[in-house]
């Protein structure tokens, strides 16, 4: 994935260390310090669990101020610059009425159509999505639990969507591929969006508290979610995340709630990119 790198010198600014996050007064840009670039100077922020430094310098443009923190921490050559806001013009698709439990495959159709493919959600579900019935015998890591066209069905995780999307892309002769990026920290999702790639994320309906079905267990012994939901992250700014929601319930959510639910749900995420653009 390409990243924007800036070598322009900037003027002095004030740096504070608050709970492991370096902050400079004002507002400007965000610096992501890669995990493999940690030095003695970055150890405090890393040990606090933060990979973000927030930069602000008076009388400077956004692209001018971001290297300051990186230089202070000795990582100017490897820091990744992110804008404070990014928004993709993604057209939403309603999963209903055809796919009452098809949020994951509909989200895939949303992302594919944004990337210029012409595929409808039902075709993608019927011809490419691996399914298993009865749903209580399914492994959501590899197949959909039931049939997304049925009212009584459950969900799948990124593995099943990767299988479906890559089968479709192979059929149309595309060099795009679906990539499971589960486990990515939330700021990495913003990085994908800032580079023009919408991200499928697993959360809960309307970002509510998780609910579970206790009538059967998954292969790993856990209870299945009864309000699992897949949406497409299409943008963010300093306060808000923007989404294409196949259930048409939410268009945006505050960043703290987004991060909390994404992390609690297991950090499941997926992107569709050209093979050469994979991270």
pLDDT in tens, 231-276: 999 999 999 999 999 999 999 999 999 999 999 999 999 999 998 6
Percent of residues, the chain, with pLDDT higher than 70: 70
| CA-closest candidate to residue 269, choices 187, 175, 205 | 187
pLDDT at 221: 92
Q: Reduce the DSSP state of residue 35 to 3 states and report it.
A: helix
pLDDT at 11: 33
pLDDT at 211: 96
Higher pLDDT, 13 or 159: 159
* 168 phi/psi in degrees, rounded to 5: -65, -45
pLDDT at 5: 29
Per-position b or e across 221-235, b if 16+ CB within 10 A of its CB: eeebbeebbbbbbbb
pLDDT at 79: 54
Return mean pLDDT, the chain.
80
The answer for residues whose C-beta is within 8 angstroms of residue 260's C-beta and 6 or more apart is none
The answer for residues whose C-beta is within 8 angstroms of residue 48's C-beta and 6 or more apart is 19, 20, 21
Q: Where in the chain is the domain with CATH 3.90.70.10?
A: 103-277
Q: Which two tokens stand for residue 87?
A: 């928004």
Neighbours of 171 (CB within 10 A): 11
pLDDT at 245: 98
The model's confidence at residue 222, banded by pLDDT at 50, 70 and 90, is very high
Higher pLDDT, 167 or 219: 167
pLDDT in tens, 157-214: 999 999 999 999 999 999 999 999 999 999 999 999 999 999 999 999 999 999 999 9
pLDDT in tens, 46-94: 332 333 333 334 454 545 444 544 444 454 455 556 889 999 999 999 9
Average pLDDT, integer, range 99-122:
97
pLDDT at 275: 82
The CATH class of the 103-277 domain is: alpha beta
**pTM listed for this prediction:** 0.75
Q: Reduce the DSSP state of residue 271 to 3 states and report it.
A: strand
């Amino acid at each position: 994935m390409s990243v924007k790198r800036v070598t322009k010198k900037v003027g002095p600014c004030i740096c504070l260390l608050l709970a492991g996050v370096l902050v400079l007064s004002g507002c400007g840009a965000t610096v992501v310090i890669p995990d493999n670039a940690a030095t003695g100077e970055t150890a405090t922020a890393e040990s606090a669990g933060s990979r973000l430094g927030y930069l602000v310098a008076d009388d400077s443009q956004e692209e001018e101020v971001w290297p300051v923190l990186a230089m202070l921490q000795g990582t100017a050559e490897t820091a990744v610059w992110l804008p404070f806001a990014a928004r993709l013009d993604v057209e939403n698709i309603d999963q209903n009425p055809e796919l009452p439990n098809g949020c994951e495959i509909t989200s895939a159709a949303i992302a594919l159509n944004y990337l210029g493919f012409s595929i409808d959600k039902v075709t993608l579900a019927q011809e490419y999505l691996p399914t298993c019935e009865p749903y209580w015998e399914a492994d959501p890591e590899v197949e959909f639990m039931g049939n997304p066209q049925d009212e009584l069905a459950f969900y799948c995780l990124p593995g099943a969507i990767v299988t479906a999307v890559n089968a479709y892309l192979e059929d149309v002769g595309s060099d795009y591929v679906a990539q499971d990026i589960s486990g990515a920290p939330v700021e990495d999702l913003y990085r994908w969006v800032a580079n023009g790639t919408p991200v499928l994320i697993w959360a809960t309906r309307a970002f509510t508290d998780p609910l579970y079905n206790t009538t059967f267990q998954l292969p790993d012994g856990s209870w299945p979610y009864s309000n699992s939901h897949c949406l497409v992250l299409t943008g963010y700014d300093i306060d808000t995340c923007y989404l294409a929601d196949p259930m048409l319930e939410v268009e945006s959510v505050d960043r703290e709630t987004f991060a909390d639910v994404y992390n609690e749900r297991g950090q499941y995420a997926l992107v569709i990119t050209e093979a050469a653009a994979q991270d």
